[in-house]
Chain A
Amino acid sequence: NAGVTQTPKFQVLKTGQSMTLQCAQDMNHEYMSWYRQDPGMGLRLIHYSVGAGITDQGEVPNGYNVSRSTTEDFPLRLLSAAPSQTSVYFCASSYSIGNVRGETQYFGPGTRLLVL
């Protein structure tokens, strides 16, 4: 049971490049989400999904796309990278939403992204 895994751990991009940050969980969790963490800003929600085929926007969705074709995977796509997207990105998952005891959310180790 690997929990929540993220790849890559580090990435450097040039402005305008696109890339996909991978996130996978092997806990059969319904709820998955992407956050970015910037100094002094805490964690901000980018997109989330309550199940396969269902996604919704979070607080800071612009410049990012997501899809949820399987329960296990929730990739985050940067369409055209900008320096403002330099950040640390965390993926998280929880068993369920609406079933209170299943709402414990677990985080991956993060992807550190630098956009030049």
Chain B
Amino acid sequence: GQQLNQSPQSMFIQEGEDVSMNCTSSSIFNTWLWYKQDPGEGPVLLIALYKAGELTSNGRLTAQFGITRKDSFLNISASIPSDVGIYFCAGLPTPSTSGTYKYIFGTGTRLKVLA
């Protein structure tokens, strides 16, 4: 099945550093969603993006909907130990390209923060 290309797969960073990750697709998307998943928990929504070029922040997190509508970026500034977890991107392709309403997920970026 179709999955988004999410990179990097994993990151080890020092506390206080900034983090960047991205997702790319061959399809045009209507919506981009970014989630964080802690061990043993379900994904929790961080940021939702709805139109090309949109830049949205949630505390130290900032995400952007790419102009081409085929990519999205998530940045975390001044990372702290509780940022550790798996970050997933998800998108909803336009029905005209996919023919159906199916969310597509990235494979995740595993973030580890070293104190």
Contacts and interface: CB of A to CB of B under 8 A. Distances in A.
Interface residues of A, number: 29
B88 A104 contact: no
Contacts of B90: 43, 105
Interface in A52-84: 56, 58-60
Interface stretch (B14-22, B43-51, B74-82): B43-51
Interface residues of B, number: 26
A103 to B, nearest CB: 4
Contacts, number: 65
A105 B33 contact: yes
B30 interface: yes
Interface in B18-72: 30-31, 33, 35, 41-45, 48, 50-51
B100 interface: yes
The 6 A-B pairs with the shortest beta carbon distances in the complex, nearest first, are: A59-B1, A107-B42, A97-B101, A42-B107, A43-B105, A103-B31
